């Protein structure tokens, strides 16, 4: 059996904050295979971006990985020098962050930025890198690519800048693309185009995609699998089809119920009361318990681990019967 492109095992990250040591990531594991698209969803502060940054070795200086192992094509990165690790990650993984304006260099033309990785990292000639930049710009749907090579980021619309960011992410021929809220700054039409582009890349180039977002509709559209994140852990994961139809964790259920459904609008949406826990304090029991309609004594005492439930994996003591608790509460 071939190894996944990327494997993450039991990743833990701590961040020094002025409130104390924050246990931001508390044991994340995941595999990314060629051609797979995996969504990571969860509310603000759940640890989505820190997970991606920890994998890529791009954590802020006050954060560090305290445990865990990362494998690229079966090769462990533990024990490698920072330089070696960064080189492997940069070769295999492209990144698109939310704010393309901030991610692009304002004083370099877009052509220079797109051809930089082929030229410097892959050692291609200037002419070949230049050709590659035109090819990538065309691939990501930037019209008149040759002419636009010479423009600066501020001369382009938000949608085109985001496409430039995707072209840069693709310029080193990565096997995986990490997208951290890549479309939230865009209007819906451009958002749909960017999503279609990512979907095309997955289908044609067999690129693995990890897509972080708040937007469940986006996950539904382009991901096959989903990881629902809460308080620094994945609390439910499975196929999008299974999880969206039949969530096995009350938080996943609540997130889905609270998302607007354009096809079946309702007057009042379900809302998740309360706040996420403060992870500078020790977690006792299930971190979702103070907000959960199905919480029991057991939930307050022991934090559940991920286990197989139906087709999914779920970290909930009441994965199979929480809906009856909800119905009983509403009766």
179 lies in the binding site for ligand ATP (CB under 6 A): no
Cβ neighbors of 46 (< 8 A, separation 6 or more) are 229, 230, 231, 232, 276
d(CA 94, CA 99): 15
Return the C-alpha torsion angle 84, 88, 93, 95, nearest 10. 20
Choose the binding region for ligand SF4 from 107-115, 164-172, 200-208, 316-324 (rule: CB under 6 A). 316-324
Closest approach, Cβ 235 to ligand SF4, in A, equals 7
User: Which is nearer to ligand ATP, 291 or 318 (by Cβ)?
Assistant: 291
Judged by DSSP in three states, 307 sits in strand
Q: Which of residues 295, 306, 312, 313 is near ligand SF4 by CB under 6 A? A: 295
17 lies in the binding site for ligand ATP (CB under 6 A): yes
Terminal-to-terminal C-alpha distance of the chain: 51
Q: Are 165 and 103 in contact (CB under 8 A)?
A: yes
Closest approach, Cβ 25 to ligand SF4, in A, equals 19
Choose the binding region for ligand SF4 from 6-14, 103-111, 254-262, 314-322 (rule: CB under 6 A). 314-322
133 lies in the binding site for ligand SF4 (CB under 6 A): no
How far is residue 111 from each of residues 38, 64, 184, measured CA to CA in Å? 30, 35, 25
Q: Are 8 and 17 in contact (CB under 8 A)?
A: no
Q: Which of residues 94, 172, 208, 304 is near ligand SF4 by CB under 6 A? A: 304
299 lies in the binding site for ligand SF4 (CB under 6 A): yes
288 lies in the binding site for ligand SF4 (CB under 6 A): yes
Residue 269, token pair as written in the block: 């949406």
Choose the binding region for ligand ATP from 15-23, 28-36, 146-154, 249-257 (rule: CB under 6 A). 15-23
Choose the binding region for ligand SF4 from 115-123, 126-134, 257-265, 293-301 (rule: CB under 6 A). 293-301
Report how far Cα 314 is from the mean position of its chain's Cα atoms.
19
228 lies in the binding site for ligand ATP (CB under 6 A): no
Q: Which residues pair with 8 in a beta bridge?
A: 30, 70
Rg (CA), the chain: 21
Choose the binding region for Mg ion from 32-40, 46-54, 118-126, 184-192 (rule: CB under 5 A). 46-54
Q: Are 140 and 159 in contact (CB under 8 A)?
A: no
Closest approach, Cβ 155 to ligand ATP, in A, equals 29
Q: Which residues pair with 31 in a beta bridge?
A: 7
213 lies in the binding site for ligand ATP (CB under 6 A): no
Choose the binding region for ligand ATP from 46-54, 163-171, 306-314, 318-326 (rule: CB under 6 A). 46-54
Backbone region of residue 68 per phi and psi (left: phi > 0; alpha: psi in -120 to 50; beta: other values): left
60 lies in the binding site for ligand ATP (CB under 6 A): yes
Q: Which of residues 44, 245, 273, 330 is near ligand ATP by CB under 6 A? A: 44
Backbone angles phi, psi at 9, to 5 degrees: -125, 115
Q: Which of residues 7, 49, 115, 183 is near ligand ATP by CB under 6 A? A: 49
Backbone angles phi, psi at 26, to 5 degrees: -125, 50
46 interacts with, out of Mg ion, ligand ATP, ligand SF4, none, CB within 5 to 8 A per kind: ligand ATP
d(CA 219, CA 203): 16
d(CA 285, CA 299): 5
Binding site for ligand ATP (CB under 6 A): 15, 17, 22, 24, 42, 44-50, 60, 62, 214
Q: Which residues bind ligand SF4 (CB under 6 A)?
A: 249-250, 286, 288-289, 292, 294-295, 299, 304, 316-318, 322
């Amino acid at each position: 059996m071939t190894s996944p492109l990327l494997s993450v095992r039991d990743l833990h990250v701590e961040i020094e904050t002025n409130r104390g040591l924050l246990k931001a990531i508390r044991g994340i594991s995941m595999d990314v295979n060629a051609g797979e698209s995996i969504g990571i969803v969860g509310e603000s502060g759940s640890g989505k971006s820190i997970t991606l940054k920890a994998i890529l070795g791009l954590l802020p200086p006050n954060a560090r990985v305290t445990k865990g192992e990362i494998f690229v094509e079966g090769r462990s990165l533990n024990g490698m020098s920072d330089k070696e690790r960064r080189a492997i990650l940069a070769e295999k993984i492209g990144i698109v962050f939310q704010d393309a304006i901030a991610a692009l260099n304002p004083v370099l033309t877009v052509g220079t930025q797109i051809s930089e990785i082929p030229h410097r990292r892959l050692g291609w000639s200037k002419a070949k890198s230049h050709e590659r930049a035109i090819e990538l710009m065309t691939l990501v749907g930037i019209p008149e690519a040759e002419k636009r090579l010479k423009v600066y980021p501020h001369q382009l619309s938000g949608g085109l800048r985001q496409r430039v960011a995707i072209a840069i992410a693709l310029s080193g021929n990565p096997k995986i693309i990490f997208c951290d809220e890549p479309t939230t700054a865009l209007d819906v039409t451009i958002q749909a185009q960017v999503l279609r582009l990512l979907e095309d890349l997955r289908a044609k180039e067999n690129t693995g995609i990890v897509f972080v977002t708040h937007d469940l509709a986006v996950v539904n559209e382009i991901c096959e699998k989903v990881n629902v994140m809460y308080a620094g852990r994945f609390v439910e994961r499975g196929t999008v089809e299974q999880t969206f139809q039949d969530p096995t964790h009350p938080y996943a259920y609540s997130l889905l119920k609270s998302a607007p459904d354009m096809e079946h609008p309702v007057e009042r949406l379900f809302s998740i009361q309360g706040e996420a826990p403060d992870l500078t304090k020790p977690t006792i029991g299930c971190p979702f318990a103070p907000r959960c309609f199905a919480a029991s004594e057991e939930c307050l005492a022991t934090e559940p681990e991920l286990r197989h439930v139906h087709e999914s994996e779920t970290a909930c003591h009441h994965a199979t019967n929480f809906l009856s608790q909800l119905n009983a509460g509403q009766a």
